[in-house]
Homo-oligomer: A and B are copies of this chain.
Amino acid sequence: MMRAMGARARQAAGPLSRATAKAKKRALEVSASRVLAEASSILRANALDLAEARGDKLSPAMIDRLMLDQKRIESIAKGLRDVAALPDPVGEVMSEWTRPNGMRIARVRVPLGVVGVIYESRPNVTADAAALCLMAGNPVILRGGSESLHSNRTLYDCLVEGLRDAGLPEAAIQLVPTRDRAAVGEILTMVEFIDVVVPRGGRSLVERVQRESRVPVFAHLEGICHTYIHAAADKDMARKVTMNAKMRRTGVCGATETLLCDRVVAETHLPQILDDLARAGCELRGDTTAQSIDKRVVPASEQDWRTEYLDAILSVRVVDGLDQAIEHINTYGSHHTDCIVTADARAAERFLAEVDSAIVLHNASTQFADGGEFGFGAEIGISTGRLHARGPVGVEQLTTYKYLVRGTGQVRP
């Protein structure tokens, strides 16, 4: 079955790469309307999933991610419309030049190919991933979590109605219709049908995909993000940015996991910040200086600097200036998202240049690590790899390019 789905996706790639922006936008608009019109049947399907999840004793966090309500359904429809509003990337001339022999060369954006998306629990990924792939002109095979199969099927029906209405190939979006776990293994080895795999879920899923896949992977491993309070940081800004970076949502990949603070401002800046965090329910683990500043700070181990908590826990280290902060981040971080708070422009520019992460911020919360916040409309994930896609994976990152060479009979000497 999986190979037949792969072959259908491959076959749809040509027609879909030539689909007009108008048709793709129409498909997404119609899908969004169908999602709103079918809200009650989507909620019924979701109730089935939830009942099974409770029977299977899934964790409350899993059940929360799985759960849909009217508000979440509206946000799924809005997501589809947001992607429909993006410019069509396909056909964009990225650069163009003329050679001394008169040949004109253009580098033009084209679809990447067939995308396989393997994800867990959240049913909104079904719509988000399908919309981004469609806009980029890529057929997609969706393999959602088995716990969300009823919800995903109902959402998927809305997507297919959009494709039909716009006259696009139905194989542009396919959902693996079973819970068979072997399907994942097949997706990871169908190199002749699938060009890239995007795993979206917990660390164990991503690691399995990276280990087993023969197809290239856009992987998001983890976000060990830092906020660094530099000697020249404004005290109030440091307080506000740190609180948001850690506590706005603790379970997102852009949440700060380690706070670094320059020794010269530790006595002035840290007490209020650590008090804010502790009062908000954040566990604090720090080095001896941090412990001496706030009695609620427990000792941090070497392992803490390497840990993505995804929870209300923060590790705190006092450093001896910019060099040590950069060294700490490049050594212990995950090259995802890191921030410096400072009023010193030169220090900021050095931090931006020397921290080797996908996203480096000056005076802004690490929680901005998000395709939507970057203006990409939506994202299919955040890549911690260096090749092809780095950082938020939006429509543009789901394309590649080709060279069009226009001559007048040139031959090579």
Q: Chain A interface (Cβ within 8 Å of chain B)?
A: 14, 17-18, 97, 99, 103, 105, 110, 112-113, 195-196, 216, 234, 237, 240-241, 243-245, 248, 330, 348, 352-354, 356-365, 367-368, 370, 373-375, 385-388, 390-391, 400-412
Contacts and interface: CB of A to CB of B under 8 A. Distances in A.
Contacts of A243: 411
B363 A409 contact: yes
19 contacts: A14-B330, A18-B354, A99-B374, A105-B375, A234-B409, A241-B409, A241-B411, A244-B411, A360-B404, A361-B406, A362-B404, A363-B407, A363-B409, A364-B409, A364-B411, A365-B410, A373-B412, A386-B400, A390-B400
Contacts of A388: 387-388
A411 B341 CA distance: 12
A250 B231 CA distance: 64
Interface of A is mostly: mixed
Contacts of A412: 244, 248, 365, 367-368, 370, 373
A241 B408 CA distance: 10
Closest 10 CB pairs of A and B: A364-B407, A244-B411, A388-B388, A361-B405, A237-B409, A367-B412, A364-B410, A363-B407, A387-B388, A365-B411
A407 B240 contact: no
A404 B364 CA distance: 11
A410 B78 CA distance: 25
Contacts of A357: 402
Contacts of A359: 402-403, 405
Contacts of A410: 363-365, 368
A363 to B, nearest CB: 4
Number of copies: 2
A367 B411 contact: yes
A122 B113 CA distance: 34
A400 B387 contact: yes
B362 A406 contact: yes
Contacts of A354: 14, 18
A390 B386 contact: no
B405 A360 contact: yes
A412 B412 CA distance: 56
A364 B237 CA distance: 60
Given A240-B411, A357-B402, A361-B407, 13 more contacts: A103-B364, A103-B368, A105-B374, A105-B375, A234-B409, A237-B409, A352-B406, A360-B403, A365-B410, A365-B411, A374-B403, A387-B387, A391-B402
Contacts of A391: 402-403
Contact of A390 (B103, B244, B402, B406): B402
Contacts of A105: 374-375
Given A14-B354, A241-B411, A363-B410, A368 B405 contact: yes
Nearest to A249: B412
A330 B368 CA distance: 42
Nearest to A350: B18
A367 B412 CA distance: 6
Contacts of A409: 234, 237, 240-241, 363-364
A248 B216 contact: no
Given A216-B387, A388-B388, A363 B241 contact: no
Nearest to A386: B400
Nearest to A327: B14
Contact of A406 (B17, B330, B363): B363
A271 B370 CA distance: 61
Contacts of A196: 387
A43 to B, nearest CB: 27
Nearest to A240: B411
Nearest to A105: B374
Contacts of A386: 112-113, 195, 400
Contact of A18 (B113, B353, B390, B403): B353
A142 to B, nearest CB: 20
